[in-house]
Amino acid sequence: TNNVQLFSPFTLRALTFKNRMVMSPMCQYSAVDGFANNWHLVHLGSRAVGGAALIMQEATAVSPEGRISAGDLGIWKDEHIEKFREICTFINDQGSVAGIQLAHAGRKASFMPPWEGDEQVMSGPGSWQTVAPSPLPFKPQHKTPVELDDQEIARITTDFVRAAERALAAGFRVIEIHAAHGYLVHQFLSPLSNLRKDAYGGSFENRTRFLLQIVHAVRQVWPEGLPLFVRISATDWTTGGWDLEQSVELAKLLRETGTDLVDVSSGGNVPDAVIPAGPGYQVDFAAAVRQQSGMATGAVGIITSAGQAEEILVSGRADLVFMGREMLRNPYFPLHAAKELGVETPWPDQYLRAKR
């Protein structure tokens, strides 16, 4: 009916997204022992009712110690699958795609939910030993993480694979490996958090080894027809850290390893970085990765209007637009965006009498 990019379908492998709007993964700190509950069903389900093409579930831990907080979702045991299956069925029944972000927090684990203070829990309930590529705390007052050995690195890789198998059984159709925001994989990528002298540290090739190993292993169990995303922080926003140039090189390697889209965020690995956050402030990173590596990209970060999202796509800076806080404010953002851009889009039958 039109050539509005925001409502054009997008195909990766054998999966077609009905439009370009993605609900960005957002921790809800509302799980117990990793289990999803009705909060997650309603939270994720209402954004599917609202018309987003892809609903990316929050950082979901591949092991208990990989949780950011004790309230994080987890997918480290088969018992977790049942509730996820209910959530995926609901999302998929709305014509949206259910996606899951698989995560390990590394040294930034054992935290409080933000509304309780956003600090590390140092002892008692919700406190556990953290792990990392190197024994460097994120902040001086934090726990010193235990340096992972080869065997533990192999085990965590396997944890990602088992998590992917469970995600498939639950009905998720997109996996996103969380390699951003200063969590475990990002800790390996950045020379500021990785001081290893072995095959996993030092050179660019060595620092990217852990992520590429995870993607390679997950690809063995994730169906050929389904897409795999990786979320990265394009820059640490500080000299001597991970940067855009390395992100572009990484994207080329990820492409060869079977990654279909890089979701381009930034920051989170060092506490003192100065980040010029403003409307669309990370979009140029997505554009650079897309143009220089040939990888499909997702743009994210203070994208709050239909016109802004449309412009990102029209200018060829990204293939998908991830939206976080705007989707929290307005679960029906995509339905409103259609109206605003003059696109005819289906509403849920149950809500048709409210359609304008």
Cβ(22)–Cβ(320) below 8 Å: yes
Question: Taking the CB of residue 353, how many other CB atoms lie within 10 A of it?
Answer: 7
Q: Is 20 in the site for ligand FNR (CB under 6 A)?
A: no
Instruction: Classify residue 112 by its DSSP letter.
Output: P
First-to-last alpha carbon distance for the chain, in angstroms, is 17
Candidates 120, 259, 265, 269; binder of ligand FNR (CB under 6 A) is 265
Catalytic residue, chosen from 183, 200, 281, 351, is 183
Q: Is 130 in the site for ligand FNR (CB under 6 A)?
A: no
Q: Is 65 in the site for ligand FNR (CB under 6 A)?
A: no
Among residues 241 and 301, whose Cβ is nearest to ligand FNR?
Answer: 301
**Which residue type sits at 317?**
R
Cβ(265)–Cβ(231) below 8 Å: yes
Handedness of CA 149, 230, 215, 238 (dihedral sign): negative
What's the CA gap between 101 and 16, in Å, rounded?
A: 19
Among residues 201 and 215, whose Cβ is nearest to ligand FNR?
Answer: 215
29 tagged catalytic: no
Site for ligand FNR in 183-212 (CB under 6 A): none
Candidates 300, 313, 318, 320; binder of ligand FNR (CB under 6 A) is 300
Among residues 325 and 355, whose Cβ is nearest to ligand FNR?
Answer: 325
Compute the radius of gyration of the chain from its Cα atoms: 19
Candidates 4, 10, 20, 24; binder of ligand FNR (CB under 6 A) is 24
Closest CA to 93 of 45, 57, 58, 56: 45
Handedness of CA 323, 101, 60, 19 (dihedral sign): positive
Q: Is 297 in the site for ligand FNR (CB under 6 A)?
A: no
Q: Is 25 in the site for ligand FNR (CB under 6 A)?
A: yes
Candidates 104, 143, 173, 231; binder of ligand FNR (CB under 6 A) is 231
Q: List 162's β-bridge partners, or say none.
A: none
Candidates 302, 305, 347, 348; binder of ligand FNR (CB under 6 A) is 302
Residue nearest to ligand FNR (CB): 324
Q: Is 178 in the site for ligand FNR (CB under 6 A)?
A: yes
Q: Is 275 in the site for ligand FNR (CB under 6 A)?
A: no
CA 24 to chain centre: 7
Catalytic site positions: 183
What is the contact surface with ligand FNR in residues (CB under 6 A)?
A: 24-27, 58-59, 101, 178, 180-181, 231, 265, 300-303, 323-326
